[in-house]
Amino acid sequence: MTAPVEINVGLMGLGSVGGGVAAALLDRSETLSNKIGLPIGLKKILVRDPGKTRDPAIPSGLLTTNPEDILDDDDIHVVVEVIGGTDPAASYLKRALSAGKHVVTANKEVMAQSGPELFRLAEQNRVNLLFEASVAGGIPIVGCLMNELLANDVFSIRGIINGTTNYILTRMAHQGAEFQQALKEAQDKGYAESDPTNDVEGIDAVYKLSILASLAFHHRVAPQDIYRQGISTLEANDFRYANELGYAIKSLAIASLENGSIQARVYPALIPLDHMLAKVDGVYNAVEVEGSLCGKVLFHGMGAGREPTTSAVVGDLIEIARRIGVQGPPSPMVQNGRPLSIRSIDELETRYYLRLTVADRPGVLAQISKILGDGGISLASVIQKDSDPAQQTAELVITTHPAREASMQRSLQQVAGLEVVTRISNLLRIEGQLDPS
């Protein structure tokens, strides 16, 4: 592609994020052009329903429902994909790269599943592929892992990387909101994925952790390599008991590299109330990267929403527009020859919080602690809560000393099989080994 005298953008998607990107390109094109050094303009916008009322209002003639209007237009230099999902977004991205167009995407699902293939296509066609908005909204974590932190061997990444779940957990913990009500609010604010199951079941965070871990460790960490537990089983009692024990409950994403082996997991965990991650509330995300040279670096900011995500998408767009005509850097997310392996969640050693409903009669705790003891699991505390005299049941909240995940799961199955146990409400990990703030 010869260096253009102006940059034309084809935008695919005009929802929460696309609306912000369109507004930036339509209302602030002069400011953006000044930052780039070349005029930049929005040439076409792909939508599903051209009849929808749009905010911002879009000039007639810009909207299309035909992807070829963007993919086959030689005058469009950069494609911005903010449709979401795998299909048809992934095929549009492949076609755009194959047609020699630079690409900016906010699509964590496609980047997590097909990142290496897309990078190969970008390299073959000598175009750029940037995806800052795919992880943690307005926080510039992807660019830092790909550039500023490259000098480091990264040991670990841990943080809160889904705005919707953090918004829900904050509303449930502090305002006693119901799960469904808090989720509806997150959807209304434009934070949630089109299928919010991806948020609440940890799938979105798994995609994001797959991207971050692959970039950090220079080794492919696929979504299926990551252990996942969502937040949908959490109940008001869990927040109450955790608070009494001195903990907050947060959905954490953690990837660490130890002795040549990577372990990655997404789950709701108890963290000490005075830990910095316990204070990350609402739609805010935070990511801590620990590297060999930089030590611990903390990123904090809004992890979802129109404006923060537009900041990331348009930042990538400016970066690409500045680079056009210059060959891009080598592909990230590729293996660098280190013989790393992926470690199963079974090998995790951590403390646990277990909440269960049991028959309220003598000897019950002895049966449970025998099973846990036989599994090598030592109890740290036991609290009996909310006896239900009518049902003759009681709620037990047990915390343990560090134990192996595989032993815990085996023992839990045996505990669940006891005639005196009526319900296992929740098993959560206590990330007590996180350093205090």
C-alpha 200 chain-centroid distance: 11
Choose, from 208, 250, 370, 385, the residue flagged as catalytic. 208
Question: Which are the contacts of 255, defined by CB distance < 8 A and separation ≥ 6?
Answer: 156, 157, 158, 209, 212, 213, 216, 217, 221, 226, 262, 263, 264, 265
User: Which residue's Cβ lies closest to ligand NAP?
Assistant: 15
Q: From the CB of 186, what's the least distance to ligand HSE, in Å?
A: 7
Residues lying near ligand NAP in the complex (CB under 6 A): 13-18, 46-49, 52, 82-84, 88, 106-108, 133, 137, 190-191, 193-194, 304-305, 309
Which residue in 19, 138, 301, 303 binds ligand HSE (CB under 6 A)? 303
Q: From the CB of 193, what's the least distance to ligand NAP, in Å?
A: 5
Q: Which residues of 157-195 are buried (b: 16+ CB within 10 A; e: fewer)?
A: bbbbbbbbbbbbbbbbbeeebebeebbebbeebbbbbee
Continuous segment of H or E residues that includes residue 410: helix 405-416
Which residue in 204, 238, 290, 431 binds ligand HSE (CB under 6 A)? 204
C-alpha 115 chain-centroid distance: 16
Query: Could you give the 3-state DSSP secondary structure of residue 89?
Result: helix
C-alpha 378 chain-centroid distance: 33
Query: Could you give the 3-state DSSP secondary structure of residue 38?
Result: coil
Q: Which does 162 bind (CB under 5 to 8 A by kind): ligand HSE, ligand NAP, none?
A: ligand HSE
Residue closer to ligand HSE, measured from CB, 207 or 217: 207
- Options 138-146, 158-166, 174-182, 210-218: segment touching ligand HSE (CB under 6 A): 158-166
Q: Which does 18 bind (CB under 5 to 8 A by kind): ligand HSE, ligand NAP, none?
A: ligand NAP
Cα–Cα distances in Å, from 66 out to 18, 60, 139, 304? 17, 15, 33, 28
Q: Which does 291 bind (CB under 5 to 8 A by kind): ligand NAP, ligand HSE, none?
A: none
- Please confirm, yes or no, whether 208 is among the known catalytic residues: yes
Query: Could you give the 3-state DSSP secondary structure of residue 63?
Result: strand
Q: Which residues of 111-122 are buried (b: 16+ CB within 10 A; e: fewer)?
A: bbbbbbebbebb
Q: Which does 13 bind (CB under 5 to 8 A by kind): ligand HSE, ligand NAP, none?
A: ligand NAP
- Options 18-26, 60-68, 190-198, 338-346: segment touching ligand HSE (CB under 6 A): 190-198
Query: Could you give the 3-state DSSP secondary structure of residue 378?
Result: coil
Q: Which does 314 bind (CB under 5 to 8 A by kind): ligand NAP, ligand HSE, none?
A: none
Q: From the CB of 19, what's the least distance to ligand NAP, in Å?
A: 7
Q: CA–CA separation, 328 vs 128, rounded Å? A: 6
- Options 24-32, 192-200, 252-260, 365-373: segment touching ligand HSE (CB under 6 A): 192-200
Q: From the CB of 55, what's the least distance to ligand HSE, in Å?
A: 19
Residue closer to ligand HSE, measured from CB, 204 or 395: 204
Please give the full DSSP string across 150-189, using - where no structure is assigned: TTSPEEEEEEE--HHHHHHHHHHHHH---HHHHHHHHHHT
Determine, following the binding rule CB under 6 A, whether residue 163 of this chain makes contact with ligand HSE: yes
Q: From the CB of 267, what's the least distance to ligand HSE, in Å?
A: 16
Which residue in 81, 109, 132, 193 binds ligand HSE (CB under 6 A)? 193
C-alpha 131 chain-centroid distance: 13
The CB density around residue 348, as the number of other CB atoms within 10 Å, is 19
Active site residues: 208
User: Which residues of this protein are in contact with ligand HSE, per CB under 6 A?
Assistant: 137, 162-164, 191-193, 199, 204, 303-304
